Every structure is written in C-alpha cells, then in structure tokens.
Homo-oligomer: A and B are copies of this chain.
Amino acid sequence: MSTTRPGRSRSEEARQAILLATRDELAERGYDKLSLDRVAAAAGVGKQTIYRWWSSKAALVAEGVLEGHLMPGLAAPSPETDSDDVWVDVASWLRDFGRALAAPSTAALLRATSAATAEDDEVAARYDEQLTTVTRVALEARFTRAVASGQVRADAPTATAVEALVGLLSYHIVTRRDITEATIDGVVRLLRDGVGG
C-alpha cells in the first residue's frame, strides 16, 4: 500500500504564503474585513488554491492563525524557567502577556481571532484548544509544582484559579483594557490568599 497519490503534490510554499498573508490581513483589518481575494493576491496565489485546502474563511483562520503563528514568543510557565516563587512566575507571565497585548498588531490579531470564534464552532474549539488549553495546562502544571513545594494548598481549586486567569486575559482582549501592575498585584494577592498554602 502506498500513501502517495498521482499528480502534482501540494505546494508547501503556497501554503505558507497563504497563512502568512492571512495573519497580516487579520492583524491589519480584523476578521470581519478579511478578504480572501486580498489574501490570494498578497500570497501570489490563485483563489482556488485557498479553497482547495480550506473550506471557508473561518477554517483558514482556525488553522493559519491558531497553529503556532498566533503568539510568537509568549512563553507559558515551564519547569525550565520556574523561579522559586510561584507568585513571581504568575506575575511575570501576566506581565509578558500585558506587554504583548500592548503592541497594537498583537492586540488586533488576538481580537480578530476572538471574533472569529463567534462565527464557527470549529474555530471556537481550536481557539479553546490552542490558545487556552495550552495555557491552562501549563498553568495547572505550575500550580501542581507549587503544591509540591508547599506554596499552594493541595485541596485548593487550582483549576478554577487557572480559569480565572485565562478569563481575565480574554476579558482584557475584548475590552481593550491594559493589564496594569495594579491588576497583576490584585490577581497575585487574590490567588495567594485563595489557593496559597
């Protein structure tokens, strides 16, 4: 049995060009005004080549934007980068995110992606998976390590704490509020008292 098919094979070059053009358009104009005609032109590609591989605008956004292209350099907590203090790590992660959100193009991209979730269940699912679950898992793992080191109570509702953190980000993306030091300070105090050991 063979996995290869006859005929010309898919152009990876075209695929990349499409995804990049999509991201640029999305950052510049938002989801609603994203035009596949423009994407095709910018990518130097025929429109059919887009529709051959993605079923709709939403699907393109789902793959192109959410699979890694979305948040370059936004490091979730990981064992390698842990400090001694879980609250320092949480604050630092929030601060990184706040900085990323302060860049207009990143903020626009996040808002556009968030908007795309409303149009399509598939996109919503991937948004939840990629943007959210990845982050949630990393944060929960950090809390688990903090439980081990005694900084967080074993019976604390850490899942909820993580959900509150992610929700906070979602909320700041939508409302365009900055993530200030006061916000970070409040969050850390709330969590330290709420789940701390």
Contact stretch, chosen from A17-25, A36-44, A143-151, A173-181:
A173-181
Which chain B residue shows the least CB distance to A113?
Answer: B118
Stretch at the interface among A66-74, A82-90, A158-166: A158-166
**A91 to B: closest C-beta gap in Å:** 13
Scan residues 159-197 of chain A and give those whose CB is less than 8 A from a CB of chain B: 159-161, 163-164, 166-172, 174-177, 183, 185-187, 189-191, 193-195
The answer to whether B194 and A31 touch across the interface, beta carbons within 8 angstroms, is no
Q: Output the least CB separation between A9 and chain B (Å).
A: 16
Q: Find out whether the CB atom of A166 lies under 8 angstroms from the CB atom of B171.
A: yes
Known: A112-B118, A194-B193, A194-B194. A160 touches B174 (CB 8 A): no
Number of copies: 4
Interface residues of A, CB < 8 Å — how many? 45
A151 vs B186: C-alpha distance when bound (angstroms): 19
Q: How far is the CB of A95 from chain B (nearest CB, A)?
A: 15
Which of B121, B169, B176, B190 is in CB contact (< 8 Å) with A160?
B190
Q: A32-B31, A193-B194, A195-B193 are in contact. Are A121 and B164 (CB under 8 A)?
A: no
B189 close to A160 (CB less than 8 A): yes
Given A160-B183, A190-B194, A193-B193, are A174 and B127 neighbors across the interface (CB < 8 Å)?
yes
Interface residues of A (CB under 8 A from B): 30-33, 111-112, 114-119, 121, 124, 127-128, 132, 156-157, 159-161, 163-164, 166-172, 174-177, 183, 185-187, 189-191, 193-195
